Amino acid sequence: MIFQFLGLLFRDPVAFAVIFPILGLSLFVALIAGITIHEFSHAFVADKLGDPTPRFLKRLSLNPLAHLDPVGTLMLLFVGFGWGKPVSVNPLNFRGVSPRVGMALVALAGPVSNVVLAGLLGLVIRERLLAWHPPGYVLTFWRLWDLFDVWDPGFILAEVVGYTIVINLALAVFNLLPLPPLDGYRILVGVLPRHLAAPVARLEFTWGPALLIMILALDVFLRAGIISGVIGPALQVATQIVVGRRLM
């Protein structure tokens, strides 16, 4: 993500020096909040379904250090694709639901939590308590006489809130894709009839994350637009619903 803004460094180093700390802070807070609430929600639902594994592994916590994977977080920060530390779950411990349905509920909890967080912050924008700053808005203030405005506390807070809303919605949309090992895949396995769920479940053992990585590579290096073609429009719609404004 940060790489997208490095063009300003060569175009106007002074503006970059002023703006980059705000961009970095906004991205950092948004990713920390998104990953933490996402992984905590997986652990919380698994615990409520009767599995003590997340509690035993100290994942039933809102401490970001319990959920952040250093490499995955840096990848998200700089590239736009990464991961948090997966929550270990033993579906055989679930009570009241089958392991398959229980895993679907645990998986669903992550994206839902991201949408809820984005929705709560979206109320702040809808009630006009803060201005709507979509990601990249601060780059419109690159001229020297505008730079004093970006260090206003209200401006910085609007940047952080804007990034947090969009990144949480993007995490939800991305994780709902029905590809292993994403949450959407586990949800799909849980809701399909058993005779259809079994062959779909075997995809994870056959491909693992390779299928997802291959599609992402096609998008990044060949600009195939496979995943971005799905996430982009879905993110626009989600932002319109949550904030009442378009992403761009």
Catalytic residues: 39
Residue 46: Cβ-neighbour burial (10 angstroms; 0-12, 13-18, 19+): buried
Residue length of the chain: 248
Q: What angle do CA 19, 21, 27 make, to 5 degrees?
A: 105
Interior/surface letters 148-178, b for 16+ CB within 10 angstroms, e for the rest: eebeeeebbbbbbbbbbbbbbbbbbbbbbbe
- What does residue 63 show for φ and ψ, rounded to 5 degrees? -75, 120
Measured CA distances, 152 to 138, 171, 230 (Å): 12, 29, 36
| The two three-digit tokens of residue 221, written as one number | 């290096």
